[in-house]
């Protein structure tokens, strides 16, 4: 596994990553690779946290659909604003245009109206921010280009928000 990870990190210029393998719900292997902080020389450990990105989107989706099966969420539930899933936990109402129109289904299908995977992707513009800071910054400062449901734009940031929905509904860190 070490050789595979080293090859991947070299090929994709990945400074650090963590691997965890579970079998039948039991953690059987975990290891950190590379640097968590190049300036300080801090190595990655299995305890380091990484932002949600492409590999975890299917896992995050399964968590959401499990919660919908339990009746704790609906795909048409609004995400931001009074009475919404996340309420006013992030950003400062009144929100920029279309933010309060975002539904859970829009985040899952990359049709929330913005925050696409390009140079403007909030996930990679402020890497020092924690999730709360990042979501608040994006909602308050990065306007949506489209109304929710009108345009597809692959979004890492949208799934960061979905992860916060999992946390809010379950009461557990995600």
The enclosing domain of 99 has a CATH number of 3.40.710.10
pLDDT over threshold 80, residue 63? yes
- Count of the separate structural domains present in the chain: 2
Q: Give phi and psi for 30, each to the nearest 5.
A: -150, 140
Taking only the tens place, the pLDDT of each residue in 109-131 is 999 998 888 877 898 888 889 99
Q: What pTM value is reported for the model?
A: 0.77
Residues of the domain holding 7: 2-43
Selection from 48, 53, 47, 63 nearest residue 12 by Cα:
53
Determine the average pLDDT of the residues in 28-51: 92
Residues 160 and 87 in one domain: yes
Selection from 126, 127, 123, 125 nearest residue 154 by Cα:
123
pLDDT over threshold 80, residue 140? yes
């Amino acid at each position: 596994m070490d050789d595979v990870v080293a090859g991947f990190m070299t090929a994709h210029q990945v400074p650090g990553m963590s691997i965890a393998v579970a079998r039948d719900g039991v953690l059987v292997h975990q290891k950190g690779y590379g640097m968590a902080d190049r300036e300080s020389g801090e190595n990655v450990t299995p305890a380091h946290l990484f932002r949600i990105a492409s590999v975890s989107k299917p896992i995050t989706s399964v968590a959401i659909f499990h919660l919908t099966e339990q009746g704790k969420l609906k795909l048409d539930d609004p995400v931001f604003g009074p009475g919404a899933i996340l309420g006013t936990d992030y950003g400062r109402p009144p929100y920029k245009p279309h933010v309060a129109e975002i539904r859970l289904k829009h985040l899952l299908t990359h049709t929330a109206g913005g925050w696409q995977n390009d140079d403007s992707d909030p996930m990679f513009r402020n890497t020092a921010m924690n999730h709360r800071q990042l979501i608040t910054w994006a909602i308050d400062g990065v306007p949506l280009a489209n109304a929710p449901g009108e345009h597809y734009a692959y979004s890492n940031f949208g799934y960061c928000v979905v992860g916060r929905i999992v946390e809010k509904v379950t009461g557990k860190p995600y």
